[in-house]
Amino acid sequence: MLEDELRKTFEELNVQPRPRTFGAVDIVFHGQRVKRRRRGYAVAATGAGTAALVVVAFGFGVSGVLPEVSVVSGGTAGTVVHGVDGGV
């Protein structure tokens, strides 16, 4: 019933509706488009994650939150401490 009314309206307006085709080629092109979009998102997310990691690493390094490495002298053979106990 509704289809008949639509056909009648299109005939009165002299407009031919374009047939909707959906085939294997459409599926392939859609898959390629989705794959490109996902790859773009993955590249952007990887770059953002790397940038965030670098910012956090430099932030901790500059603020001094990371522990200092200290050299304990005395008693062990082969340990040379410059400027202490006659070292070079």
CA 24/CA 30 separation, integer angstroms: 10
Amino acid at site 75: G
Whole-model pTM: value is 0.43
Number of neighbouring beta carbons within 10 Å of residue 15: 9
Render pLDDT for 40-70 as a digit per residue (tens, 0 to 9). Answer: 999 999 999 999 999 988 887 765 555 555 6
Task: Give 38's pLDDT tier (boundaries 50, 70, 90).
Answer: very high
